[in-house]
Structure 1
Amino acid sequence: MGTQVNGEGGSLAEQAYGVIRDRLVMLEIKPGDPINEDRLSSELGVGRTPIREALKRLERDRMVVAYPRRGTFATDVHIADLTHISEVRRTLEPLAASAAAARATPDDRAALTELRSRLEDAHTGDNAELLRADVSVHRAIYRCAYNPFLEDTLINYDALATRIWCVFIPRLSGVTGHVDEHVPLLTAIIEGDADKAAALALRHVTGFEKAIRALI
């Protein structure tokens, strides 16, 4: 919770957006919670203007909602949204994985290999850490697709899906197995097997949706 922006790696508003988005994704800011701009400004070490710009973007992302004279709140998590989110992800996640397998540079493949090693060595019962690992893998794959429009879209939909996962994770079993599915997916991308990467990405997304629906 002590993350601050520092003016490096993008504008202050861009950095504030990333920090606040990830707090919303991990439910550090819970669904329905009011967004305190003064507190965020103090915690992130930036003025009110970057915070407001970040919140406007998060409203477009459906992560927060602003009400006149009431303020801004984290959006509720509605299980009904899973159908729409999954419909997009079933199409675009395989596309990103396939593109990453075809376009990743040697440096990218070295970084993905290191990420795969960290996943293989990780044996944790900490669900929050598992969720962060899941998010980090997805974002690494999106970067390697070298399509900024696809990357931005999938980061947003993965964030919305992860919020749903965070709500249901206390009742889910096999979370570690879900994250472990990234190992063969990363292997396919590292080895440049676009068809296999696409198939594994589709299986991963479909498995997530089934796991959540089994609890409804």
Structure 2
Amino acid sequence: MTAHVNTSARQDRHGTPPSLTDQAYEAIRDLIVTLQIRPGAPISEEQLMRRLGLGRTPIHQAIKRLESERLVAIFPRRGTFATEVNITDLALITEVRLQLEGHAAYSAAKRRTRAEQEELRRLLEEFDEPATTDADLMRLDTEVHRAIYRCTHNSYLEATLGSYYNLATRIWHLFLDRLPHVSEHIEQHRPLLEAIIAGHADQARDLARAHVSQFESTVRSAL
């Protein structure tokens, strides 16, 4: 089945539609992070062109960007592959995220606009709607994290955290069928969102750091 990218659904905070390269990047990134492209699997630009309905140039540029974020490995004369998942990287990723996720939550509580407060409130309302699958819960987790990153109004922090979040979330998906309390982990976002909306920066920082720490503990318990 061919899966085409939705080219009109998302716009940036300035109302500008994403470029074709951004569309390709986001689509391929999500295929890798959610393990629809498995770790170590070969990546064919031709197949992605057909699957996403995009041209060779945006697909190629997206793959180069994903290589810089350690989701794709390109080997001369061998081809392009999704990177393997090394569970020993979890501690290193967590070490960085403990600092940056806390700082992002703190900054978001200080800098979020009224429009962004409303966006966070809409996400908060989703916690009152029962999720039917773990995939729904992970989608909500992703939306919350990326919304918080945007609220920092720091494009460098947003990009860096987005990259580390992708690496961590791929590990999470790898063990998803062995994790019994996914809903409890995602539910931790409720007080975090409330703190950011209310502008309680110190509380938001502490909640974000606790969430990241608990993430690592949960994954390690499944090993």
TM range (shorter): over 0.9
* Corresponding residue number in structure 1 for 2:136: 129
Counterpart contact for 2:24–2:62, Cα < 8 Å? yes
* Corresponding residue number in structure 1 for 2:7: 6
Q: 1:106 aligns with which of 114, 131, 134?
A: 114
Counterpart contact for 2:4–2:53, Cα < 8 Å? no
Q: Look up the SS of the partner of 2:175 in the other structure.
A: helix
2:217 is the counterpart of 1:210:
yes
Rounded Cα–Cα distance in structure 2 between residues aligned with 1:74 and 1:161? 15
Counterpart contact for 1:5–1:44, Cα < 8 Å? no
Misfit runs of 4+, over 3 Å: 5-8
Q: 1:25 aligns with which of 28, 33, 55?
A: 33
Q: Look up the SS of the partner of 1:72 in the other structure.
A: strand
* Corresponding residue number in structure 2 for 1:157: 164
* Corresponding residue number in structure 2 for 1:119: 127
Counterpart contact for 2:32–2:71, Cα < 8 Å? yes
- Matched residues, number: 215
Q: 1:168 aligns with which of 162, 166, 175?
A: 175
Displacement after TM superposition at 1:120 (Å):
2.3
> Which structure 1 segments of 5+ residues have no match?
none
Rounded Cα–Cα distance in structure 2 between residues aligned with 1:5 and 1:136? 17
Displacement after TM superposition at 1:215 (Å):
2.3
Give the aligned CA root-mean-square deviation in angstroms: 1.3
Q: Look up the SS of the partner of 2:42 in the other structure.
A: coil
Between 111-120 and 146-155, the greater mean CA deviation after superposition: 111-120
Rounded Cα–Cα distance in structure 2 between residues aligned with 1:87 and 1:125? 32
Counterpart contact for 1:5–1:16, Cα < 8 Å? no
Rounded Cα–Cα distance in structure 2 between residues aligned with 1:185 and 1:5? 30
Rounded Cα–Cα distance in structure 2 between residues aligned with 1:108 and 1:60? 30
TM-score scaled to structure 2, two decimals? 0.93
Counterpart contact for 1:3–1:19, Cα < 8 Å? no
Counterpart contact for 2:102–2:206, Cα < 8 Å? yes
Rounded Cα–Cα distance in structure 2 between residues aligned with 1:194 and 1:37? 44
2:155 is the counterpart of 1:148:
yes
Rounded Cα–Cα distance in structure 1 between residues aligned with 2:125 and 2:18? 29
Counterpart contact for 2:3–2:53, Cα < 8 Å? no
- Give the partner amino acid of 2:222: L
Q: Look up the SS of the partner of 1:69 in the other structure.
A: coil
Residues 5 and 16 (structure 1), Cα distance of their counterparts in 2 relative to 1, 3 Å cut = farther
Rounded Cα–Cα distance in structure 1 between residues aligned with 2:221 and 2:4? 36
Rounded Cα–Cα distance in structure 1 between residues aligned with 2:63 and 2:24? 9
Rounded Cα–Cα distance in structure 2 between residues aligned with 1:5 and 1:107? 24
Displacement after TM superposition at 1:6 (Å):
3.3
Identical-pair percentage: 48
Residues 118 and 5 (structure 1), Cα distance of their counterparts in 2 relative to 1, 3 Å cut = closer
Rounded Cα–Cα distance in structure 1 between residues aligned with 2:7 and 2:78? 30
Counterpart contact for 2:152–2:158, Cα < 8 Å? yes
* Corresponding residue number in structure 1 for 2:198: 191
> Which structure 2 segments of 5+ residues have no match?
9-15
Q: Look up the SS of the partner of 1:65 in the other structure.
A: strand
Displacement after TM superposition at 1:125 (Å):
4.2
Counterpart contact for 2:121–2:197, Cα < 8 Å? yes
